Amino acid sequence: MLPPACTTAYTYDPLFLAHHLPGHPESRTRLERIMAELEQASLLARMTLIPPQPASQELLTAVHDADYVQELAALAQRGGGHLDPDTYVGPRSYTAAALAAGGVVALVRAVMAGQARNGIALVRPPGHHAVRSGGMGFCLLNNIAIAAQAALTECGLTRILIVDWDVHHGNGTQDIFYGTPQVLFFSTHQYPYYPGTGGVREIGAGAGRGYTVNVPLPAGVGDEGFRRIYAEVLTPLAERYRPELILISAGFDAHWDDPLASLRLSLAGYWQLAQTVVGLADRLCAGRLVVTLEGGYNLEVLALAVANLCRALLGDAHPGPDPFGPSPWPERSVAEIIAAARQMHRLTDPAQPAGHS
């Protein structure tokens, strides 16, 4: 067995499949395909399973309004319904969501305790759209925010970097940490697009001003654009902030063949993102990195991309097969948005702290 410092951990439970609505894009089939690919590629055998436990009411209500948590549980108990036209709740959805959030928390605890170097939460329902007051956009509870809150309160951390590369803006995560410098939230996303938030001028408020970093992208940005953004915006931000822990909201719906969006990343582009964040964690916070799943609706792309992410966490030098290849269309320049983000966050001045007035 690998020593703890070299271990990549994962969390998973079959209960995550109980949250399901036939015909909905965010169905249990997504996670079933992921788990089948990880098994076939012998990746699960190389990682350590950390069984999830439900997130405590104390943690849930540190992030979400207590009334919402109670209403969500009651709706599931009544047999389910919808929070909005896109966001369903079934009889076991609340239990699955609380366990999903608890799974990400369990990985954070393991990484912070030195029991694992990094980890990936193979969980659903996703979470990054869930705001303090409610769920939306397929999300019920904000898994990554709940895990970050656990790291802040239980581990005494003061600097957590959350990177969100889902094609949709992580409005819920932004909402929850908008006023604090203890979390630096960085998001790349198609814009204007659902949920309509994430403009470059949304940078935080009060003590949190400067600690929200949005890089809104027009349709058509692909591998080269993301490479430049991660090199010219994320990397200097992270080096300036010096996080104690990095958390990733990993959606794979920015792939060029995803049915729900129009960015043009390839599997090779996602491998590049994974390599970048693993490298940042190695250099800045002793490798401490925890990933949780968000979107991704081309099921083959999703499974292969998650497998590659596991390979990156394990330290593999090369990704797996890519039957899709590069985007067949030319991609749009990101020069203007990079310039705007660097100016907004004063990245031309290396001495400038992460937050600013």
The yes-or-no answer on residue 189 being catalytic is no
Amino acid at 186: F
Whether 192 and 217 have beta carbons less than 8 Å apart is answered as no
Whether 117 and 169 have beta carbons less than 8 Å apart is answered as no
Spatial CB neighbours of 190, under 8 Å, sequence gap ≥ 6: 167, 168, 216, 217, 218, 219, 254, 261, 262, 263
User: Taking the CB of residue 207, how many other CB atoms lie within 10 A of it?
Assistant: 12
CA dihedral 8, 250, 28, 91 (to 10 degrees): 100
DSSP state, 220? T
Whether 109 and 101 have beta carbons less than 8 Å apart is answered as no
Q: Find the catalytic residue in 128, 129, 255, 345.
A: 129
Q: Taking phi first (over 0 means left), then psi (-120 to 50 degrees means alpha), and beta for anything else, what does residue 289 get? A: beta
The kind and range of the H/E element at 187 are strand 183-190
Q: Which residues are catalytic?
A: 129
